Amino acid sequence: MAEEAGFPLVVRPDARSLSEGATVRDWIGRNHDKLLDMLHTPGAVLFRGFPRTSREDFEAVCSLVSGELLDYEYRSNNRRRLSGNLFNSTEYPATETLPFHNEMSYFSVWPRHVWFMCEVPAAKGGATPLADSREVYRRLPEEVRERFERHGVLYSRMISPDLDLTWQDVFNTEDRSEVEEYCRRFGIQWEWVDSDRLRTRQIRPATMAHPVTREQVWFNQAHLFHPSALGPEIHDWLLRKYGESGLPRSAYYGDGAPIEPEVLDLIRRTYDDLAVPVRWEAGDVLAFDNVFYAHSRDSFEPPRRIVVGMGGTGGALPAPAKV
């Protein structure tokens, strides 16, 4: 096998391995510990040029390296379960760019590793850029970091069938008592507005120390949850139609104060300045450390099909926070 320096690190089969039909699963089976080292430095590995990986083999290698795959709980976007704990990538309009985010950093349980497998690359566009969360932390002004670190981020959602996902979709249940128990368990404040609408609020940290290296990283989705991420026209329309308290989702400083538009714009520009695009080829498998790297998605021309596995539990249950 050949490894190509750069970011992400690219692993390709050499001529002999290819002639013998070596697969990504074969390589990982022989190099398990080496891959774990690669997921620390440089933190992202792209397998390219191997024979196509089946979904069954893809789920197996994800679990082998990253432990039990996570279900997609307390959902914030549409995703379809493909098999086991494999999902399609976020169902977001192809004409739009999906903002940078560390997967599920708005929640108290998040994956240590994210795995992508490209079954069908986009006809045009559709790259998955990565951005170093350590460098985002370092580049943001100290006064911005300090306020977020002192207060955290308050994530607010109005879960309603006419705005976003239904509460049944978000919590994967038809039972309201199960929703309430889930919220108690994970420190989420909830309020039933009526039978179809549920308001939730939760305070989460804005930064964290990497579980292994202890490096400080920017780890939140304030700039994504805030409705300004949808653009000024949609943001203004949502405010006129639903008011501040009825927004499908929003983000505030943890003390409830609004986050300044210029701060949100600065965070978005910082991510964009650090973006390194992964341009997909059919059969590619990408694994990366979800704490080290945020990811996004460029706009594209369909079709495009990316399979997602989220490996290992990185978070811990929080103490319930009063909002």
pLDDT of residue 163: 82
How far, in Å, CA of 296 to CA of 159, rounded?
A: 24
Q: Rounded mean pLDDT of 71-92? A: 91
Close Cβ partners of 225 (under 8 Å, ≥ 6 residues apart): 76, 106, 153, 155, 156, 249, 250, 251
Residue 4, number of CB atoms within 10 A of its CB: 11
Enter the DSSP assignment of 69: B
pLDDT of residue 318: 43
- Give the distance from CA 262 to its chain's centroid: 24
Q: Rounded mean pLDDT of 71-82? A: 89
How far, in Å, CA of 67 to CA of 146, rounded?
A: 34
Q: Rounded mean pLDDT of 52-57? A: 96
pLDDT of residue 321: 42
> Is 60 exceeded by the pLDDT of residue 323?
no
pLDDT of residue 322: 44
Sorting pLDDT into bands at 50, 70 and 90, what band is 287?
very high
Residue 277, number of CB atoms within 10 A of its CB: 13
> Is 70 exceeded by the pLDDT of residue 8?
yes
What are the structural domains, with CATH classification, of the chain? Answer: 2-130+276-313 (3.60.130.10), 136-268 (3.60.130.10)
Give the max Cα distance, the chain: 64
194 and 232 Cβ atoms separated by less than 8 Å: no
Peptide bond into 42 cis (omega under 30): yes
Instruction: Estimate the crossing angle of helix 142-151 against helix 261-274, to 10 degrees.
Output: 110
Compare 320 and 193 and report the one with higher pLDDT: 193
Sorting pLDDT into bands at 50, 70 and 90, what band is 314?
low
Least confident among 137-146, 238-247, 306-315? 306-315
Q: Which of 82, 26, 23 is nearest to 55 (CA)?
A: 82
Q: Which helix (H) or strand (E) holds 73?
A: none
Q: Rounded mean pLDDT of 284-292? A: 98
Q: Which of 158, 154, 143, 234 is nearest to 202 (CA)?
A: 154
Q: Classify strands 9-12 and 44-47 as parallel, antiparallel or unpaired.
A: parallel
pLDDT of residue 110: 95
> Is 80 exceeded by the pLDDT of residue 140?
yes
Sorting pLDDT into bands at 50, 70 and 90, what band is 1?
low
pLDDT of residue 313: 75
Residue 169, number of CB atoms within 10 A of its CB: 14
Residue 92, number of CB atoms within 10 A of its CB: 14
Name the average pLDDT for the chain: 94
pTM of the model: 0.94
Q: What is the pLDDT of residues 229-272, one digit of tens each?
A: 999 999 999 999 999 999 999 999 999 999 999 999 999 999 99
> Is 70 exceeded by the pLDDT of residue 25?
yes
> Is 60 exceeded by the pLDDT of residue 320?
no
Q: 215: which strand partners?
A: none
> Is 70 exceeded by the pLDDT of residue 79?
yes
pLDDT of residue 7: 93
193 and 70 Cβ atoms separated by less than 8 Å: no
Q: Rounded mean pLDDT of 29-46? A: 94
- Please classify residue 223 by burial: count the beta carbons closer than 10 Å to its beta carbon, then call 0-12 exposed, 13-18 middle and 19+ buried: buried
